[in-house]
Structures are given as C-alpha cells and as structure tokens.
Amino acid sequence: MADLEDSIASIKASQSHSTPVQIMLDMILATSHDQRAAQVERAVDWVSQEFVKTSHIRQTMGEDLLTIEIITSMKAMGFDAAHDTQYGGHCDIVVEARDDFLWIAEAKIHKGYDWLLAGFEQLDRRYSTGLAGQDTGEMIIYCFVERADLVLSEYQSRLTGSREDVKFDQDITQGLFRRSVHTHVNTGRDFRVRHSIVPLYFSPVR
C-alpha cells in the first residue's frame, strides 16, 4: 500500500494543479461528496478554459454540441458523465459516483435572461433530487456576447429578484462564477448551486 501511495503521489507531483490526470486522480481518491463535487467543478473549469482558447471555432455550435463536448472530455478524465439522462426530465449533464453521489448541471446559451432563469428552474425543480450526496449542481452559461462578467452579474441580480429564497455568497464578487444556496423544496436540505459562465465572444478587428 505504501508503494502505491508513493506512486500516486509521484504522479500527482509531476502534474500541474489542473491537468486532466491530476483531476482524475483526485476524483479517484475522493472520500467525501464535497471532494467529489470539487473535482467535477475542476473538470468543468478545465474544459471551459479549452473552449475559450478555441472560441473562434465554436461560434456556430449549439447548446447540445457544446455540452456533449464537455461530457466527452469528462469521460476521458474517468468521470461517469452522461447527457440527456432521464432524472425528472432530460438532464444536460449528469455525473454519478460511488456512495450515491449525483451532480447535475443545466447548460444554456445566453439568449436572454428569462431563458437562463428558466434553466435554473429546470435544474432546481425538475432534475435535482436534493438528497444527501445529490445536493450540489451547476448552471453553465455559454456566452457569445461581450463582457461575460456583466452578463453573469445581471443574471445573478435577476435570479435574486425572481427567487428571494436563493442566497448568493456575497464574498464572491470577482471571477466568472457565483455560488448560491437555498432550501430544496423536495427534501428541505440545503441545495448548493455554482453558476458559471463560459466567455465565447469572438470578434477580431483583423
């Protein structure tokens, strides 16, 4: 066992913090639902960064194609990830793991704020279970317009206005994500959502 642990530590030390290999190893070694959720988020962040680097070839891609690319990348990292799973409806992204872990994401292209708010309602009221180990999820926003940061801020403002029960972490004011918590209507447990935006605006001057 010590040799195995030393080998794993050596592999992890050889990788930078956010490589797919590092994420995969940390997911395998995760011993709690919070640790598993953190690795899922790292995987989403890694894929999102790759999307931004290649945004010029993604300008005509639709929601399903973008989302399937995220899932394909997550599968390559070893995640049990799927698209269109029937949990209360057609879920965009489902990740499952041992001990009944379940993480669900709704992914929307920003076509208007009502469209995004409807996506949140689907995630919250239709797809999520709210059970232990199944009480985290994500809203992923694909943004093809300028200033993704301002779009995210306006989305947060509008969601707060339409759902007074959803409380955002007021300490998170920078970056391209926000975190919220509210009481899940099905279980009465806290349901935690990360709201992330993928900036895909591309309009070169030359």
Mean pLDDT of 23-31: 94
**pLDDT of 13 over the 70 cut:** no
Residue 143 within a domain? yes
DSSP conformational letter for 56:
G
- Tell me how far CA of residue 74 lies from CA of 16, 117, 120, 138, in angstroms: 18, 26, 22, 15
Residue 204 within a domain? no
Residue 206 within a domain? no
Please write down the long-range contacts of 83-86, taking CB distance under 8 Å and 24 or more positions apart: none
| Model pLDDT, residue 205 | 82
| pLDDT one-digit tens code per residue, 49-68 | 999 999 999 999 999 999 99
**pLDDT of 18 over the 70 cut:** no
The pTM (predicted TM-score) of the whole model is: 0.91
| pLDDT one-digit tens code per residue, 149-198 | 999 999 999 999 999 999 999 999 888 999 999 999 999 999 999 999 99
- Tell me how far CA of residue 29 lies from CA of 23, 82, 141, in angstroms: 10, 21, 29
**pLDDT of 206 over the 80 cut:** no
Q: What are phi and psi of 2, to 5 degrees?
A: -65, -40
| Model pLDDT, residue 161 | 97
Q: How many domains does the chain have?
A: 1
Amino acid at the residue 43: A
Q: Domain of 15? A: 2-199
Residue 80 within a domain? yes
**pLDDT of 1 over the 70 cut:** no
Distance between CA atoms of residues 66 and 27, nearest Å? 23
Residue 188 within a domain? yes
